[in-house]
Amino acid sequence: MSPRPPTVSPGPGAVEIGRRLRALREERSLSLSLLARRAGVGKATLSGLENGTRNPTLETLWAVTAQLGVPLTAVITEAGGGAATVRGTAVAATLLEVFTEAAASYELYRMVVPPGATQTSPAHQAGVTEHVTVFTGVLRAGPLDAPLLAGAGEHISWRSDVPHGYASIGTEEVQATLLIRYPRG
């Protein structure tokens, strides 16, 4: 029996995320087929997300929001600013805060990566950077061709407009903060 795919939980339900994805796609006059192709996801998968019949994975949401040119919070933040926890193959990230200034917007997450777990994330839109501060464990993260290591009390950052990954090294769970910076314009 294969493991159940990771999903967004809790926070806005699949129907609300789907409604937001469809609205963003339609605002940009993109067909379902074109957005699916650009994001590297199946058309049936994207259709299921928009119709609220599929639970989105973190990797799929990042791929789609990157092609829409919006931060992840454009689809996961509840009305009134409530937080959501998003889960990928290895990473569980709980949204803590969204900051906005003239030059950029920022999403701050509490991130947990279990021992031995690895995850590959698609490229974000141009100019996006990620900044991780590790509190426990050892994290290998960054561009797939040049990953970085950080242990407790250390910080790493990289341009995340390329495919990048996260892996917990050793036997201790990684607990960290993840700050994603999205340039404006």
Q: What is the domain partition of the chain in residue ranges?
A: 14-76, 89-183
Q: What pTM was computed for the model?
A: 0.74
Superfamily of domain 14-76: lambda repressor-like DNA-binding domains (1.10.260.40)
Among 2.60.40.10, 2.60.120.590, 3.60.70.12, 2.60.120.10, what is the CATH number of 89-183? Answer: 2.60.120.10
Q: What mean pLDDT comes out for the span 74-103?
A: 79
Mean pLDDT of the chain: 86
Give pLDDT, residue 88.
83
Say what the pLDDT of residue 12 is.
Answer: 45
C-alpha angle 17/124/111, rounded to 5°? 70
Interaxial angle between packed helices 58-68 and 43-50, expressed in degrees from 0 to 180 and rounded to the nearest 10: 90
Q: Do domains 14-76 and 89-183 have the same CATH topology?
A: no
